[in-house]
């Protein structure tokens, strides 16, 4: 709950337009070792500032994917929401 609140506050502060949780963190039956997030609407010059703030604000390591970058992964993540 604390991690979710911290992530939400940072997303608002950085004016993120879309934030998706994926990976092991979405499985309520097990304890995730990290937090996998995909972000959209974050200016490129702010990406690593946001990432750094995330790392210092949550209790687990964070994997952050920029959805504005075109890759096979981002195309898969975007499918259900398009």
Any idea what the CATH number is for the domain that residue 41 is in? 3.30.460.10
- pLDDT, averaged across the chain: 88
> What gap in Å lies between CA 82 and CA 24, rounded to an integer?
23
Q: What is the pLDDT of residues 42-67, one digit of tens each?
A: 999 999 999 999 999 999 999 999 98
- Give how many domains the chain has, as a whole number: 1
User: Range of 14's domain?
Assistant: 2-81
* Contact between 54 and 7 (Cβ < 8 Å): yes
Predicted confidence at residue 67, as pLDDT, reads 86
Q: What is the rounded average pLDDT of the residues 30-52?
A: 93
Tokens of 20: 């998706």
Band of residue 77 on the pLDDT scale cut at 50, 70, 90: low
Q: pTM of this prediction? A: 0.82
Cα 54 to its chain centre, rounded Å, is 9
């Amino acid at each position: 709950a604390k991690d979710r609140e911290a992530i939400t506050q940072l997303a608002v502060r950085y004016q993120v337009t879309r934030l998706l949780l994926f990976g092991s963190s979405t499985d309520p039956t097990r304890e995730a070792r990290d937090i996998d997030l995909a972000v959209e609407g974050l200016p490129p010059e702010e990406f690593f500032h946001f990432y750094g703030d995330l790392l210092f604000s949550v209790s687990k390591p964070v994997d952050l994917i920029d959805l504005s970058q075109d890759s096979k992964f981002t195309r898969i993540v975007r499918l259900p929401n398009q």
